Structure formats: structure tokens, C-alpha cells
Chain A
């Protein structure tokens, strides 16, 4: 009797549960279930958040350390790459300069050159000289002409074993025999304290004009001929003077000289004994 009673309770319990489930799935218990589920979800949310915070609390420090290490590594890599970029840009600039110098040297195959870097400038404000990093050990000797791809720079004034001093054509004591191509006339180029170039001793018979090209004439034997010097800027012609003169826009920017070519196979002629004999 007792067993039957227990079985009935189980069956009723089972049927009630099944009915509850079926009613719930059928949607008849939605209102009741939502009232029951909402607080449960709230509790679930709170518990979940706290758990997440606890997990974060224990896991984040490790990640921060890792991130900091990664960040440091990346910063170091960026710094390294920046240094490489600066180095490459510098190399590129030097290559461009050397490439243009090479182009100039190829255009004049009869001459041999010694490439040199400009390492300093004469400390006296009265003088226009630069120092280069090639000396007698590299074959540089006194009075050799110095050029760049743009044109004439000057001549070697003093030499040590590993360096040399170059007198720029803009130096007040410098004079270069020049040839005005379009006017087919010779003249003498002089430097000045302001680094401006002037062509002087040009015959009054020729017409000097803006933009005319000026090259070395080769007269006097100090410089090879046909090296670009600059262009005529302003002509100074007075009727009562024997010669006319003109200011020149130099082909080379002497304030930013970085590399030069020393013309190695040119032997300058010393004509000063002849001039003294004439006197």
C-alpha cells in the first residue's frame, strides 16, 4: 500500500513538472517566469562582474608587464630604425654628391681626380679658404686645381700628409684667368671680402650681357681650360675706362661645399720668373 502511495507521489510530481515545463515552453508562464528570472539575472550579472574583476586583478599585471616590455622593445626598434633612416638619408645625400662628381669626372676623361670631403673653413673672417680631408699621402700637391660637378672651386694652397687647404676663387687674393664664351673674350676673375666674384680687364670692344657663361681660359697655366665658373650678372661699363667689368653669379655655392674633386694630373705652370724678367 505504501509502495503504491509513493509511486503515485512520484508520478504526480513528474506530471506536474512536465506540465510546468510544457506550460513554460508554451508561453503561458512568461509573466511569472520573468518575475522570477529577473532577480536571478541581476544576481548572475553581479557575480559575473565580480568574478571578471577578480580574474582581471590577477591577470592584468602580468599583461601590463608584458605590454611594457613589448612597448620598450618597439620603442627601441623605432629608435634604431630612425637612426638607420637618418644614416641612409645622409648616405643618400653623399651618394648624390659623389654621383654628380662622378658624372663630372666622366665628362672629362682626360683628367684624373681625387675626391675629398670638406672638413672645415679658415677661422679668419678675412679669408676664404676651406680644409679638405686629403693630403700628400693621397697624391694631393701644392697648386692643384679643385673643382666640383658645378665648376671651379679654387686651388690647393697648403698640404699636410692627411689634409690640405684650398684657396677658394672667392678669396680676395685669388685671381683666375677667365673666358666669356658668348662674347669670345678673356678677362680676370677676382674674389672679394664679401665672397662676390667680379670679372675685370674685359675689353671695351666686346658686349657683356646678363647670363653669359664664364669658364676658365687656361691662360697663365694655373687652371685647366673650360671649367665652368659662373654667369654674368651685372655689367659695369664706363666709356672713360680702358676695360669693363661685371659681377658674376658663381656656379658653385661656396657656403655649402661638402665634397670636392682635386684635379690630380694637372701640373700648374709657374710663369712668375718670366714676369719678373719682364720687369
Chain B
């Protein structure tokens, strides 16, 4: 339960930063998804146990902030979480490379799901525009944010679970 309680302030800070700061820091039309990065880092950490709760809470929070219909952020974050669980169980343990890889795949999930949901809502975008002006810049911003988030949140998770660094 301590982890769940400790997740809430992280999500709150990340959500606030995302809406107030990072959504305005654009490269072309792409923006960073700080909550997605937080979710990826937290899910990849071997000590954390409630990353699914984080995915649900992050989706819940973003459903308030964003106008993406059909609870799109739940779909985005849950699909990323499932993907990470598959990777964690089946693929080798190299967290930093895995984080870069999942950040890229997470951005693809986010873009494809957003595009698909809006397409179903009769709001169509030019695919080449989405790739060149939204997806690629968003991925670049997410990768830039990933490393500091990884350092900070891993330290935080290790502190939370009192992991002995000398082991």
C-alpha cells in the first residue's frame, strides 16, 4: 500500500508538469508525454509491484486533462503496461536499453491509438503529417525526458524499497 500512496504524488507532479509545462514545449507539433515516461520507468523497475495501478491512475488523470475521446489514455497506458510486462518476462534484463526501446514503442502506441480513436470520431489527419510533425518530434522529446526520469524514479523506487546498493 505504501507504493500506491507514493505513486499518487509522482503522478500528480508529472501530470501537472505535463499539462502546464511540457504540453507547451513543442517541437513542430509534437509534445512529450511525461506520464508515459514515468509509467515506463516505474514498470521497468524490478522492485515495483503496483505498476498496473499506476497505469490506471495515469489513464484516469489524463482522462480529466485531455479531450481524447473514448478514454483513449487508458488504452494507451494499459497497452504500454502490457507490452512492458511481456518484455520483462521474456526478454533480457538491460533496463536502460529496454527503456529506450519501450519509449519508442510507447510513442508509437500513443500515436496510433490517438490517430485511430480520432479517425473513428470522424476527425482525420494526414498520415504523413502525423508521422513527420507529431510522432517523430514527440518521440525525440520523450527520449530526451526518459533518461532524467529514469535516474530520478529509479532512485526514488530504490529508496522506497530500501534497496542496498552494496549488494
Contacts and interface: CB of A to CB of B under 8 A. Distances in A.
Q: Do A and B come from one complex?
A: yes
A20 interface: no
B11 interface: no
B129 A124 contact: no
Contacts of A172: 118, 123, 125
Given A120-B65, A124-B66, 15 more contacts: A122-B66, A122-B67, A122-B68, A123-B18, A123-B19, A123-B31, A123-B35, A124-B31, A126-B118, A127-B67, A129-B67, A160-B64, A165-B67, A167-B67, A193-B126
Contacts of A119: 19-20
Interface in A119-163: 119-127, 129, 131, 157-158, 160
Contacts of B138: 125
A158 B19 CA distance: 16
Given A129-B67, A165-B67, A123 B23 contact: yes
A158 B69 CA distance: 12
Given A124-B114, A172-B123, A194 B29 contact: yes
Interface of B: 18-20, 22-24, 26, 29-31, 33, 35, 62, 64-68, 72, 114-115, 118, 121-123, 125-126, 129-130, 133-134, 138
A122 B133 CA distance: 17
Contacts of B125: 126, 172, 193
A119 B62 CA distance: 15
Given A125-B134, A173-B121, A120 B19 contact: yes
B66 A123 contact: yes
Contacts of A157: 67
A84 B64 CA distance: 36
Contacts of A194: 29, 129, 133
Contact of B62 (A121, A123, A125): A123
A224 B109 CA distance: 40
B23 A121 contact: yes
Contacts of A124: 31, 66-68, 72, 114
Interface residues of A, number: 20
A126 B68 contact: yes
B29 A193 contact: yes
A121 B19 contact: yes
B129 A122 contact: no
A-B pairs with the 9 shortest C-beta distances?
A120-B19, A121-B23, A129-B67, A125-B31, A173-B123, A123-B23, A125-B134, A126-B114, A120-B20
A123 B22 CA distance: 8
Contact of A121 (B24, B123, B129, B134): B24
16 contacts: A119-B19, A120-B19, A120-B20, A120-B23, A120-B65, A122-B66, A123-B31, A124-B66, A129-B67, A157-B67, A172-B123, A173-B118, A193-B125, A193-B126, A193-B129, A193-B130
B65 A131 contact: yes
A127 B125 CA distance: 11
Contacts of A123: 18-19, 22-23, 31, 33, 35, 62, 65-66
A158 B72 CA distance: 16
A122 B20 contact: no
A157 B62 CA distance: 15
A113 B20 CA distance: 25
Nearest to A122: B66
B29 A125 contact: yes
Contacts of A126: 68, 114-115, 118, 125, 134
A120 B72 CA distance: 19
Contact of A158 (B30, B33, B67, B123): B67
Contacts of B30: 125
A124 to B, nearest CB: 5
Interface in A161-214: 165, 167, 172-173, 193-194
Contacts of B126: 193
